[in-house]
Amino acid sequence: MSEAPADEVPTRDRLLDATERILIERGHSQVSTRHVAEQAGVAHGLIRYHFGSLDDLMQATLERACNQILQRQRDLYASDLAFIEKWRAAMGYIDVDLEAGFPKLLGELIARSWNEPSWQPVIRQLVSGFDEVLGAAVEAASAEYGLTDVDVAALTTLLRTFQLGILVDRLSGVDAGHAHLNEVIGTWLMQLERDSVSNDRATHDNATTERD
């Protein structure tokens, strides 16, 4: 699908697109009213008109990107695929997202929160959104595999920090151990899948025997 000509894109979206490009290509230290306005091809006074401040513009840019990722993850985990296939798809998205620049965008603004505490509530809110999606996935997987002793909150936190850690590694040019770790997790999920099928078969056989 071809992109709409710049003059047909709403000004608000042009500002968001320009800010996203600068964050990904140059980093948050290079986001300025002048740079954004030049990239968007608009008067810099429109930043204040549409967003109030440069910080509000960067926050809106991050929220837009995260909402797109979260919706994709919700759709994936709500699908009829077996959990192991959902996991494989989710891990496959890492390369897609790196190519698109999302981890760089997220990382730049997480780094901003280290020195500017006013950004920390923004990051916490976004993390809460990811935890909500991951938590629902963990609960569904536990039910699918018949696991009754899973600490959903702890495993959700583990998965979130695991995924963020991989993204930080990859952004830093590090991938040592990632393939092996993914293989180990895949093997474990396949075993859970087999155990679940065996348990279902045993339950079915027992029910048939009782009826006979």
pLDDT tens across 16-63, in order?
999 999 999 999 999 999 999 999 999 999 999 999 999 999 999 999
**Mean pLDDT for the stretch of residues 144-156:** 92
Collect contacts of 154-159 with beta carbons under 8 A, ≥24 apart: 156/131, 157/131, 159/134
Name residue, tokens 């608009």: 42
- In this predicted model, what pLDDT tens digit does every residue of 161-203 receive, in sequence order? 999 999 999 999 999 999 999 999 999 999 998 887 665 554 5
Tell me how crowded residue 133 is: count the other CB atoms within 10 A of its CB: 20
Q: How far apart are CA 141 and CA 84, in angstroms?
A: 9
pLDDT given for residue 120 in this prediction: 95
The mean of the pLDDT values for the chain is: 89
> pTM for this one?
0.85
DSSP letter assigned to residue 150 = -
